[in-house]
Structure 1
C-alpha cells in the first residue's frame, strides 16, 4: 500500500510537476514516466524467492529512476530520506542522456564493489562509494548523509548484519571512521578506494 499523502508541489519548474515523498515511502510504480531526484536519497530494490531483499542501487540528487529503466520484477523504489522528485515524461527523456549514462556507470561501479574480496574491502569500498555520492565535508572527515542500517548494508553486500556490525567496529577501532548514532564519518586520510586493509 502506498501512502495517500503524496501531493504535487505548488511550484512548477519549467512546467514539470514536482512531488514530495516522506522517508520510507515507496514511489508509485509507473511505466509511463521517469522520476528525477531533486533532493534526498532513495534505494531501488527487489527480493528473491525466499523473501530476501536485494538492493539494486542507491540514488540521489540528479539521478533518474523509474520502472522503465529496469526489467527486474518486483521493482520498488524506497525513500531513504524525505525526497523531492520531478516527473520526466517520455518525450523529454532524450534530454537526460548524461543522467542515464551516469546511472549506468554508477550501477557498474556498485556491481564491481559487491564482488570484491575480502568482505572487509567490499564494505570499505562501499562506504567510500557512499561518501562520494552522499557525503559532505565535516571537520573530522566525510559524513555519509544517508543513514543506511547495518541490515540494509548487508543486503547490498551479500553478507550478514552481524558481519557488518563487527567490521564497522573494527574500522572504528583502527581510526578509519567515526560513528555517531546512525551516522558514519570516514576519516580523511583513509578515503582512497584503494586504501589497503589488513582484515
Structure 2
C-alpha cells in the first residue's frame, strides 16, 4: 500500500494497545502497517459492511463509534454490539465467509482495514499476530456471554446500570474520561440493545439522576457515584422499577 505523510502508523496510534494487546517487535509492526488500509472517514448512518457481504477484512476502529445489527425480513432491527476506538469489527464473518451483521457509523469515524487474506499470511510468519487475533475473538465471545446473562438474569434497572458502568470502563481504557462521556447512541438504540423500551430508558435515567448516581445533560452523562452504580448493577435481587 502506498503510504503518505498523513498516514497514521500502528506505532503512533493511541489505541494500538487495544488493537495489539500482544507486544509486537518492530518487524511485526512494520509488516502489519504494510497490509493495513486506512479508510476515508465514515459519517453518521454510513454503512461499513452489510450483513451477507462477502467476508474480506477485519476493521479496527480508529475514531468514532459504530453499531452492529441484524435486520429481520420485515425490517426490524436488533442491535448486537457497539464498537468504540480500539475495537475490531468483522469476526462474525469468519465462519461462513459472510458478514453476520450490518455495521453502521453512529457518528463520524474512521477505521483501519485489515485484509484477512494478508493477515493470515502474516500470522503464519509471526505467531504473535495470530495470538492477538485469538485474544480479540476470545474477548468477543466473553462479551457475548456476559450480554446473554445480563438480558436473562437482570432487571431493567440493573441492565442500564451495567451498560453505563461498562461504557465508563471502556472509555477509561481508551484514555478518555470514565466520569463524563457523550452517548453516541440514541436512547432507542440503547433500549434495543438491552431489550427495553425507550420509555423505560428515559424513566430510569431520570430516576438515576434523582438518586444522584449520574447527571444527564442531553447526550452527556456524568458519573457521580461509580461505586454505587457497580454495586446496584451487580445485585441480583429483584427490584421494582
Q: TM-score, normalized by length of structure 1?
A: 0.80
Residue equivalent to 2:223:
186
Which sections of structure 1, spanning at least 5 residues, go unmatched? 1-7
Match of 2:61 among 21, 37, 40: 37
Number of equivalences: 189
- Is the CA contact 2:65–2:109 (under 8 Å) kept in the aligned structure 1? yes
Q: Report the equivalent of 2:89.
A: 65
- 2:30 maps to which residue? none
Corresponding position: 1:83 with 2:109: yes
Paired position in structure 1 for 2:37:
17
Q: Distance in 2 between matches of 1:74 and 1:62?
A: 20
Q: Is the 8 A contact 1:110 1:126 kept in 2?
A: no
Structure 2 stretches of 5 or more lacking a match?
A: 10-32, 124-128
CA apart distance, 1:83 = 1.6
The Cα shift of 1:69 comes to 4.5
Structure number with greater Rg is 2
Displacement of 1:70 in angstroms is 7.2
Residue 33 of structure 1: how far off its partner (Å): 1.1
More helix by share: 2
Q: Is residue 114–residue 156 contact of structure 1 (8 Å, CA) maintained in 2?
A: no
In structure 2, how many angstroms separate the alpha carbons of the residues matched to 1:54 and 1:99? 23
Higher strand residue share? 1
How much does 1:162 deviate?
Answer: 0.8
How well do the aligned residues superpose, as a CA RMSD in angstroms?
Answer: 2.7
Superposition map of 1:45-194 within 5 A = 45-66=69-90, 68-69=93-94, 75-90=101-116, 91-92=118-119, 94=123, 95=129, 96-134=133-171, 136-137=176-177, 142-190=179-227, 192-194=229-231
Against the structure 1 CA distance between its residues 62 and 74, is the aligned structure 2 distance closer, same or farther, given a 3 Å change threshold? closer
Distance in 2, Cα, partners of 1:25 & 1:144: 23
Structure-1 separation of matches of 2:60 and 2:73: 30
SS at match of 2:201: helix
Shift of 1:75: 1.9
